[in-house]
Structure 1
Amino acid sequence: MQAQAESIKAQLDAIAAQSAGMDWTVTLGVLAGLVVLAALVDWLTQRIVRPLVSRAVRVSPTKIDDALLAHGVIKQLSHIAPALVIHFGIALVPNLHETLVQVIGKGAIAYMVLVVAIAISAFLSALNDIYERRPAGHSRPIKGYVQLGKIIVYTIALIGIIAVLIGKSPLVLLGGLGAFAAVLLLVFKDTILSLVASVQIASNDMVRVGDWIEMPSLGVDGDVVDIALHTIKVQNFDKTIVTVPTHRLIEDSVKNWRGMSDSGGRRIKRALYVDQGSVGFLDEAMRRKLGRFALLKSHFERKKAELDEWNAQAPERGAEPVNARRLTNLGCFRAYVTAYLESHPKVDHGKTLMVRQLEPGPTGLPLELYCFAATTEWGAYEAIQADIFDHLLAILPEFGLRLFQQPGGGDLMAGIAALRVPLDAAA
């Protein structure tokens, strides 16, 4: 620092010595003329050249140049013209010390480097805008890469400006940055993590704008509205906005519902809990009653042939009903539900469809429906699911079955009333 201070002091002393006894009239006049010329060039560029270019861009059939104009690329580049006048004209000023010429010239170069960096940044934004207009632009965004590109551009510009001002090669500065590598890694830790995550997300097509994702650990349950380098913005279904660091999508578990949306159907997976005490064999009266159901006609025909064949293999089985195979009300209900779903117009018949029994438990025997609604729209899906179970809940008593549920106040009152009648009679 002491050596640099002494160097600056020596240059100032040299300027003062050269200026002693010098007539500055011509020098100031040429400087004023240079400033006026730079201002005139800037006026011509802003008032004539740039409007002509803008008009030509608007009438052109292509849309790329429109994006460049909208993001100010042409406007930024127009600022280079007066800086060029200053840079090349300052050396023509008479009686101006070489140090001042170099300082002003370097300042003009540094200004042009900054302007070019801003123009390149605007150009990258224009490229992102053009890309997002394409069909793939919303599903595979490049906004994160654009932001990374801007960081690289401004970093290079900063190094270039410093190198110009101190008169050193940029390679020398880059070599010196090695000593600060640990500090840089600490400062740009989130950027590096986000960059790696963005590359993995894009290459593996993990998340797109518009996807419905769930991350319970972060309170995320909604649609992705924006993907950037550092953050991903999600609008939950309660209209709240959650901002998630990009690298958390790699570190945490993410449930993406895009597969459901792309398939055109949404799964219905819900069970009816049947009271196991109501399950029994069909007697003839129940058989005739259920024979009225059109959906069970083929089931009865198929089962009759199957049971007759099985029982005929050992005639002694038919002597006692307990030794023979017989139909049950639960089996018939399961067949009815399957046939009902297969004939339902709003159930996707091209996907998995089954009605299965799960393990019995203290809350009854679960009879699970597993199928897919022929829509992914939330409201329509809920309506289809509700209509199916409305019908099944209403039709289930026809099979002599009961649903299991915890006793409520009405059940308790009915039980107490039933106990009171014998007690009153005994009294």
Structure 2
Amino acid sequence: MKSISHWIFDFLVDQGLSESWAGTINMIILLLVVLIVLFVLDYFLRKMIVGIFNRLSLLSKSKFDDLMVKNKVPRNIAHIIPVVLAYKAIPEIFQDFHNAEIFFSKTIEVFGIVLFLWVVRSLLNTFKDFLKSLASLRDKPIDSYIQVFMIFAWSIGLFYAFSIISGIELWKFLTALGTASAVIILIFKDTILGFVASIQVSINDMVRIGDWITFEKYGADGDVIEINLATVKVQNFDKTITTIPTYALISDSFKNWRGMEDSGGRRIKRSLIIKQDSIKFLTKDDIEALKKIELIRTYLTNRSKDIDTYNTEKEIDKSLLINGKNLTNVGVFRKYIDRYINSHSGINKDMTIMVRQLPPSSQGLPIEIYAFSSDKRWANYEYIMADIFDHLLAAVPYFKLEGFELPSSTNFKA
């Protein structure tokens, strides 16, 4: 082999050229020839291997081989043979240049490590995309685990590369590195915290991709689109993207709306505030007038009979309405709201429906509606809630009640 690689050298020496110049020219010509051969070989290998994978992906029903092509696994594998041949050719090219041989040998070894890591990365990305295509794993933080493995692989690769460059054995290099572990932990603190957090988030099923979360501290209110080692990406409803440190999911408080989405309805919890000086007992004439309202006609008839019977049996003096049992306009209004909510087509009747009074405040008496809309989609939910309160706000005057609102400039002018 040496005679073959040295024939240019021998020819130049025979032509009267000095051995140093002949050796240099021989090395340059061999280097150019090897580079051309390797380039051509790499080109054809890449075309051949990628072509084979493309044909296999067309014949196969599995998505895995398609994803391998997409993530350039065949292309990266095709580079391996030229790199191995280049490493084998180095001693022949630089046989008369020992220092150059050592330099280029180490360079090829380091490049081989990088190429190996490229192959590993492309394979891991393929596995990641494939696992994400499975319905049972689509909402899992697969990115975090892939990133942890890649950080580990790159760390080992870098240590091995430094060992090759420095000439120190790997185990001695790692032993020396152990003394600097405190510094390393400090440098990779966020990565370590993110890794721990991603495991806890996954095990405890705190957040999945696709969940709607609200994180006020970071201004996030939208759907989780990505969970990786360092950050969680949330696409807000205004289409902006908010990034949240993964560790914040276990160190801070946030709201996950998945429970609502998995349930049978979305909660409506809103109040009407009634002016307290508009609340009064109902006279018989008032009751008769309210019986025209169909939803509470039967209730008023039956309830009036029960009250009259009680007051008669107890011989209550009804010259004052406060004596005995009486109906109030706010109580009848609460009953009307309850009947209206229960008859509304947008309310889930299998979940809690409640109309209640909250403690009176300086603004008035809050009447709270607590129910669940059967449609959980945001736009439809808002429509159902608005439809209910449009009606109730318009119904308030029929019960001789008034809603509270702060006075405007027109009120002061009047």
TM-score range, shorter chain: 0.7 to 0.9
Q: 1:405 is paired with a residue of what secondary structure?
A: coil
Whether the 8 Å CA contact 2:281–2:322 is kept in 1: the answer is no
Structure 1 residues 283 and 298, CA, compared in 2 at 3 Å: closer, same or farther? same
- How far apart, in 2, do the equivalents of 1:244 and 1:358 lie? 37
Give the corresponding residue for 2:70.
Answer: 70
Q: Distance in 2 between matches of 1:322 and 1:62?
A: 80
Structure-1 separation of matches of 2:53 and 2:390: 68
Q: Displacement, 1:138?
A: 4.1
What is the match of residue 143 of structure 1?
A: 143
Question: Which secondary structure does the structure 1 equivalent of 2:206 belong to?
Answer: coil
Distance 2:409 2:318 in 1: 47
Say if 1:26 and 1:94, in contact at 8 Å, map to a contact too.
no
Check whether the contact 2:141–2:198 (CA below 8 A) recurs between aligned residues: no
Q: How does 1:359-370 map to 2 (within 5 A)?
A: 359-370=359-370
1:135 CA displacement:
2.3
| Within-5 A mapping of 1:97-176 | 104-176=104-176
Asked if residue 179 in structure 1 is aligned to residue 159 in structure 2, the reply is no
Residue in structure 1 matched with residue 315 of structure 2 by the alignment: 316
Quick check: 235-244 or 339-348, which moved more? 235-244
1:27/1:94 contact within 8 Å kept: no
Distance in 1 (CA, whole Å) between partners of 2:393 and 2:19 is: 109
Segments of 5+ residues of structure 2 without an aligned counterpart are 1-17
Deviations 1:80-125, CA, capped at 9 Å, x for gaps: 1012223334456795577765554444333222111111011111
Residue 205 of structure 1: aligned partner? 205
Partners of 1:365 and 1:202 in 2: CA distance: 45
Change (3 A) 1:158 1:300: same
What's the offset of the Cα at 1:217?
2.3
Q: Over the residues paired in the alignment, what is the CA RMSD in angstroms?
A: 2.9
Partners of 1:158 and 1:24 in 2: how far apart? 35
| 2:372 aligned counterpart, secondary structure | strand
> Cα distance 1:322–1:102, how it changes in 2: closer, same or farther (>3 A)?
closer
| Structure 2 residue matching 1:338: 3-state secondary structure | helix
**Cα distance in 2 for residues equivalent to 1:25 and 1:184:** 45
Shift in Å at residue 318 of structure 1?
Answer: 6.1
Mean Cα deviation higher: 330-339 or 220-229: 220-229
- How far off its partner does 1:299 sit? 2.2
Q: In structure 1, what residue type is equivalent to 2:338?
A: T
Q: Distance in 1 between matches of 2:160 and 2:186?
A: 23
Task: Name the residue aligned to 1:349.
Answer: 349
Q: Which residue is equivalent to 1:335?
A: 335
Contact 2:347 2:372 in 1 (8 A): yes
Separation in 2, partners of 1:113, 1:58: 32
Deviation at 1:211, TM superposition (A): 2.5
Q: Which residue of 2 aligns with 1:189?
A: 189
Q: Distance in 2 between matches of 1:306 and 1:290?
A: 17
Helix, strand or coil for the counterpart of 1:332? helix
Please identify, of 41-50 and 123-132, the stretch whose mean Cα deviation from structure 2 is larger: 41-50
Q: CA deviation at 1:409?
A: 4.1
Letter in 2 for 1:371: A
1:135 aligns to what SS in structure 2? Answer: coil
Q: Deviations over 1:359-390 (max 9, x none)?
A: 11221111111111222222222222222112
Amino acid at match of 1:183: V
What TM-score, normalized to structure 2? Answer: 0.84
Local SS of the residue matching 2:61: coil
* In structure 1, distance between residues paired with 2:370 and 2:304: 27
**CA pair 97-407 structure 1, distance change in 2 beyond 3 A:** closer
Separation in 1 of the partners of 2:93 and 2:271?
Answer: 91
Q: Which amino acid aligns with 1:115?
A: L
Q: Which residue of 2 aligns with 1:54?
A: 54
* Structure 2 residue matching 1:52: 3-state secondary structure: helix
Distance in 1, Cα, partners of 2:251 & 2:294:
54
Per-residue deviation, 1:192: 1.2
Q: Does 1:247 align with 2:247?
A: yes
With over 3 angstroms needed to count, the CA separation of the structure-2 counterparts of 1:250 and 1:94, relative to structure 1, is closer
Q: Which shifted more, 232-241 or 369-378?
A: 232-241
Post-superposition shift, 1:340?
0.4
Moved more, 94-103 or 80-89: 94-103
Residue in 2 aligned with 1:376?
376
Q: CA deviation at 1:26?
A: 11
Aligned residue for 2:11?
none
Q: 1:49 and 1:377, CA in 2 relative to 1: closer, same or farther beyond 3 A? A: closer
Work out the CA distance in 2 between the residues paired with 1:39 and 1:391. Answer: 78
Residues 256-265 or 349-358, more deviating: 256-265
Alpha-carbon contact 2:143-2:229 (below 8 Å) kept: yes
**How do 1:270-285 residues align onto structure 2 when only pairs under 5 Å count?**
270-285=270-285
- Number of aligned residue pairs: 394
TM-score by length of 1: 0.82
Compared with structure 1, are the counterparts of its residues 271 and 109 closer, same or farther at alpha carbon in structure 2 (3 Å cutoff)? same
Deviates more, 1:88-97 or 1:324-333: 88-97
Q: 1:94 to 1:219 in 2, by over 3 A?
A: closer
Q: Which whole-Å deviations, capped at 9, do the CAs of 1:132-158 have from their partners, x for residues lacking one?
A: 222244422311221222111111111
State the percentage of identical aligned residues.
36
Following superposition, the deviation at residue 174 of structure 1 comes to 1.3
| 1:81 paired residue number | 81
1:310, distance to aligned residue in structure 2 (A): 4.7
Aligned residue runs from structure 1 range 345-424, under 5 A: 345-414=345-414
Alpha-carbon distance between aligned partners in 2 of 1:334 and 1:213, rounded to the nearest angstrom: 34
